[in-house]
Amino acid sequence: MDAKDILGLPKTPLPIAQEKKSRPHKDSQRKPDGISREVYALTGGVAPLMPSIDVSQLKRRPPSDEKITWQWLPFTSSARKDNLQLYHWVRVVNGVPPTGDYSFAKYNKSVDVIRYTDEEYAKYLTDPKWTKEETDQLFDLCERFDLRFIIIADRFPTPRTVEELKDRYYSASRAILVARAPSPGEVASHPLVKEPYNVTQEIERKRALSMVLSQTKHQERKDAEVLAEAKRIAESRMAARAAEEPDLPVPPDIGPESAERAIGPGDTISPSNVQVHAAAAAPSTSVIADNSSTLASLRMLKVYLRTYALEQMVQAASSSAGLRTIKRVEQTLQDLGINLKPKVPTKAVCAEHLELRKEILTLLNLQKQLQYKEAEGSSFRDGSYGDMPGTAKRSQRAVDQDRTFVPDTISFGGDRGVKREQKRKGPGRASETPSSPAGAHKRPRKMKASDL
Amino acid sequence: MPHPASEAQVEDGGSASKPQRIIKLGKTTEDGDKKGTNKRVKDIELCIPIVYGTIAFYLGRKASESQSHKWTVYVRGATNEDLGAVIKHVVFQLHPSFNNPTRVVESPPFELSECGWGEFEIGISLFFHSDVCDKKLDLFHFLKLYPEDESGPQSTKKPVVMESYNEIVFPDPSECFFARVQNHPAVLVPRLPSGFTLPAPAPVENMNGKGRGDTKDHPLNHWFMNFSEADELLKLASARQQVQAHIVKLRRELSVIDGMPQPLKPASSYECT
């Protein structure tokens, strides 16, 4: 107390008392049975989701009718060839020690290294690059170290690479196997014979691996870019091949496996060429290209359904149109009383349907053009009134009008047109709000039939 | 049409007295019967109009919880002709709650009847004869048991019929297939270009060995729907006319606007922004 005064620490006995009160409360709720509180707290104080140890089992004692003692006894292991006498603690039940081999003896596995006789060496295994002595040493080490070639290479008296050692070992073993076999067929399934060791390939593979491992982040990124580029080229090459238009150039043949960095700039130029060319082509020719490429791809199929063919052709024809336009086409079809998918899709019906869709697209495009021209025209006329930003924004808005434009101007009969006009709450018309500056119009103008 | 160079052309002068053994890419002919399958008929597409669907009858008094309806799923020629010359067998894939949900129908008429209570999508796979096509064609049809208007109790006499029309197109038929079916009533052969020499027509054989496979006298045939392309063609033609008329009008208006003299652009309006 006095110390606290001296130090100037606040005297706050209260919060501590509170903690003491709440903690026992908490603990009495959650103290588990079977294990002490501290041990339980090791797990974070919360019961595990899946109890790995049945807590009630922990305090269980072994069956009391058995007498268990632990004794320090000698043992033998079949894995040891020497007579070394080792001792360990053994659980003895009712005075009977356990029987059987040492439990870890079964893990003492080793490789069957083929040993040749001197005769066999002379007959099959002579090699200009290897002396008999070296080969003998190699085989000894292989047996001793269970074909762990890294260690063998380390221990080998003369300097040899791992690949050389492997090559010598595997080719020698193979030769011996084949020589000893009564007929070639019998050993053909032996792994040594089936898959011979290929030195050059191994050297190459390891080199490539180390290259990949030692790549810097920068190099990795560049590799990814090159591969993506190659993929894009391959894809555009396929698309260009499918199209029958002669004026679409086919990009040069570039394999995706090429890891050379030199490709970089060359790659980027060719796909953009293809794209630019395609974009520059007039909409009608690109539609024709799409159509004929669809036709070609359909002909490639062995069999297809008429409805499938129609879907493909419709997709091709609308490929230049956005989702909004496609929705408008479908709306127009419905207004005209035509099913989006024909009920009787014969060849003739599908052809007519396709043509109708294309014509509707043309119609919508023309409407857009007309709108745009009108807006332009009106903005010119009103230009002298409004401020400059206002006019510029106006012509921009004319393009934006596209967004909510609904073909109310075309009444195809039927109830829908009338109802829709009544439902829509469009903003004011042009005659009511001439040339007001931008900002006042949040939503674009809706065109009425009388506007045209 | 892009053909690999090694494919054969239709031989002029018709008769196949000494047919060339042309190897199609990736396929080798083993026995003489398959010779015809490798030669294709160029630029002719064969079309098989089919109708597939379901007819479901409410069982009324005989209905139980698990079997309230008896229904039949089928694939038939659109004019009820025998499809056996083209289709070898059909596999209907039913809901897994059925025993052996994969049902194979080996011969025409290609149909399957079952009892049940639930509506589900049935997978229909068409397998063709070897000289026709080695790829199967998949269709899907939703089994409808309950009528659209829920007014009143279901009748056991009037079934719920759902049929879809479609056409199977073979863009590149083999000569053998073509010869076999060029006069078959189930197959639509287009008008042949002039100068085209037909291979000798083979007699129309019953490929499936059993009795007739057409559905002209099918017990359910008075429920079959009629699919006439004339109606649709008419509607489409009238729609196209309307659209074309509007296009003409718009084009006229556009040209009027384009022809209009441009008002003098106030020089200032383009110098800002």
pLDDT band at B245 (very low <50, low <70, confident <90, very high): very high
Q: Is A124's pLDDT higher than 90?
A: no
Look at B135 and A355 and tell me if their CB atoms are within 8 Å: no
The span from the CA of B121 to the CA of B70, in Å, is 16
pLDDT, tens digit, 9 for 90 and up, residues A282-325: 445 555 556 778 888 888 888 899 999 999 999 888 888 888 88
pLDDT on residue A300: 84
pLDDT band at A204 (very low <50, low <70, confident <90, very high): very high
Q: Is B94's pLDDT higher than 60?
A: yes
CB within 8 Å of chain A, chain B residues 112-151? 128, 133-135, 137, 139
Instruction: Report the residue of chain A nearest B126, measured CA to CA.
Output: A303
Task: Give yes or no for B242 touching A (CB within 8 A).
Answer: yes
Look at B262 and A380 and tell me if their CB atoms are within 8 Å: yes
> In chain A, what residues touch B260 (CB-CB under 8 Å)?
377
Task: Give yes or no for B236 touching A (CB within 8 A).
Answer: yes
Question: Which of B233, B243, B244, B262 to mutate to test binding with chain A, by most A CBs within 10 Å of its CB?
Answer: B243
The values of phi and psi at residue B164, to 5°, are -125, 140
The span from the CA of A404 to the CA of A424, in Å, is 11
Instruction: Report the residue of chain B nearest A394, measured CA to CA.
Output: B269
Helices (H), chain B: 35-38, 175-181, 229-259
A88: helix, strand or coil: strand
Q: Bigger pLDDT: A358 or B182?
A: A358
Look at B242 and A412 and tell me if their CB atoms are within 8 Å: yes
- Residue B37 has what DSSP assignment? H
Question: Which of A238, A303, A357, A369 to mutate to test binding with chain B, by most B CBs within 10 Å of its CB?
Answer: A303
The overall average pLDDT reported for chain A is: 74
pLDDT on residue B196: 61
Look at A346 and B229 and tell me if their CB atoms are within 8 Å: yes
Look at B236 and A356 and tell me if their CB atoms are within 8 Å: yes
- Residue B189 has what DSSP assignment? -
The span from the CA of B40 to the CA of B32, in Å, is 16
The span from the CA of A11 to the CA of B40, in Å, is 102
CA distance A408 to chain B (A): 13
pLDDT band at B63 (very low <50, low <70, confident <90, very high): confident
Nearest partner of A76 among A108, A105, A110, A96, judged by Cα: A105
pLDDT on residue B204: 52
A103: helix, strand or coil: coil
pLDDT on residue B54: 94
Q: Bigger pLDDT: A411 or B128?
A: B128
Percent of chain A with pLDDT over 70: 64
Radius of gyration of chain A (CA): 43
pLDDT on residue A380: 65
- Residue A404 has what DSSP assignment? G
pLDDT on residue A399: 46
Percent of chain A with pLDDT over 90: 21
Q: Is B142's pLDDT higher than 50?
A: yes
pLDDT on residue A82: 87
Task: Give yes or no for B226 touching A (CB within 8 A).
Answer: no
Q: Which of A207-211, B58-62, B196-200 comes out lowest in average pLDDT?
A: B196-200
Structure tokens at B69: 């309806």
Query: Averaged over A167-175, what is the pLDDT?
Result: 91
The span from the CA of A305 to the CA of A311, in Å, is 10
- Residue B266, C-beta contacts closer than 8 angstroms, at least 6 positions apart: A383, A384
Task: Give yes or no for B272 touching A (CB within 8 A).
Answer: yes
Question: What is the Cβ-side half-sphere exposure of residue B50, based on CA atoms within 13 angstroms?
Answer: 26
- Edge-first strand order for the sheet with B160-170 is A304-305, B160-170, B46-58, B69-77, B110-116
pLDDT on residue B29: 41
Query: Averaged over B140-151, what is the pLDDT?
Result: 86
C-alpha distances (whole Å) from A245 to each of A249, A302, A316, B41 are 9, 23, 15, 25
Helix (H) or strand (E) segment spanning residue A72: strand A68-75
Q: Bigger pLDDT: A274 or A104?
A: A104
Question: Which of B177, B250, B264 to mutate to test binding with chain A, by most A CBs within 10 Å of its CB?
Answer: B250
> In chain A, what residues touch B189 (CB-CB under 8 Å)?
none
The span from the CA of B21 to the CA of A370, in Å, is 62
The overall average pLDDT reported for chain B is: 78
The span from the CA of B45 to the CA of B188, in Å, is 9
Q: Are B257 and A374 in contact (CB under 8 A)?
A: yes
Look at B247 and A359 and tell me if their CB atoms are within 8 Å: yes
pLDDT band at A189 (very low <50, low <70, confident <90, very high): confident
Query: Averaged over A153-165, what is the pLDDT?
Result: 92
pLDDT on residue A112: 87
Task: Look at the block and give the residue holding tokens 């294990």.
Answer: A35
Q: Are B71 and B56 in contact (CB under 8 A)?
A: yes
Look at B273 and A392 and tell me if their CB atoms are within 8 Å: yes
| CB-nearest partner of A346 from B49, B235, B254 | B49
Look at B239 and A336 and tell me if their CB atoms are within 8 Å: yes
pLDDT band at B45 (very low <50, low <70, confident <90, very high): confident
pLDDT on residue B202: 58
Q: What is the largest CA-CA distance in chain B?
A: 88
Q: Bigger pLDDT: A18 or B87?
A: B87
pLDDT band at A449 (very low <50, low <70, confident <90, very high): low
pLDDT on residue B203: 56
Angle at A248 between CA A243 and CA A250, to 5 degrees: 90
| CB-nearest partner of A304 from B169, B265, B271 | B169
Beta strands in chain B (DSSP E): 46-58, 69-77, 87-93, 102-105, 110-116, 121-128, 137-142, 160-170
Q: Is B18's pLDDT higher than 80?
A: no
What is the predicted ipTM? 0.76
pLDDT, tens digit, 9 for 90 and up, residues A366-409: 898 888 888 887 776 665 554 444 444 444 444 444 444 444 44
pTM: 0.47
CA distance B29 to chain A (A): 18
Q: Is A23's pLDDT higher than 80?
A: no
Task: Give yes or no for B253 touching A (CB within 8 A).
Answer: yes
The span from the CA of A164 to the CA of A39, in Å, is 57
Query: Averaged over A191-204, what is the pLDDT?
Result: 87
The span from the CA of A190 to the CA of A194, in Å, is 6
The span from the CA of A38 to the CA of A60, in Å, is 19
Q: Concatenated DSSP letters for A322-345?
A: -HHHHHHHHHHHHHTT--SS-SS-
Q: Are A366 and B254 in contact (CB under 8 A)?
A: yes
Look at A298 and B171 and tell me if their CB atoms are within 8 Å: yes
> In chain A, what residues touch B88 (CB-CB under 8 Å)?
none
> In chain B, what residues touch A306 (CB-CB under 8 Å)?
47, 166-169
pLDDT on residue B100: 92
Look at B235 and A302 and tell me if their CB atoms are within 8 Å: no
β-strand partners of B128? B87
pLDDT on residue A4: 66
Instruction: Report the residue of chain A nearest B190, measured CA to CA.
Output: A347
CA distance B156 to chain A (A): 28
pLDDT, tens digit, 9 for 90 and up, residues A65-86: 778 889 998 888 888 888 889 9
Q: Is B211's pLDDT higher than 50?
A: yes
The span from the CA of B5 to the CA of A361, in Å, is 39
Instruction: Report the residue of chain B nearest A335, measured CA to CA.
Output: B239
Query: Averaged over B125-152, what is the pLDDT?
Result: 88
Query: Number of residue pairs across A and B with CB atoms under 8 Å?
Result: 131
The span from the CA of B253 to the CA of B249, in Å, is 6
Q: Is B230's pLDDT higher than 70?
A: yes
Query: Averaged over B123-145, what is the pLDDT?
Result: 92
Query: Averaged over B29-44, what is the pLDDT?
Result: 60
| CB-nearest partner of B247 from A336, A338, A366 | A366
Other beta carbons within 10 angstroms of residue A361's beta carbon come to 22
Q: Among positive and negative, which fits the CA dihedral B48, B54, B57, B59?
A: positive
pLDDT, tens digit, 9 for 90 and up, residues A28-48: 455 667 777 787 777 776 766
Nearest partner of B34 among B171, B173, B208, B174, judged by Cα: B174
| CB-nearest partner of B236 from A309, A353, A412 | A353
Look at A305 and B247 and tell me if their CB atoms are within 8 Å: no
A190: helix, strand or coil: coil
Q: Bigger pLDDT: A290 or A129?
A: A129
Look at A373 and B254 and tell me if their CB atoms are within 8 Å: yes
pLDDT band at A421 (very low <50, low <70, confident <90, very high): very low
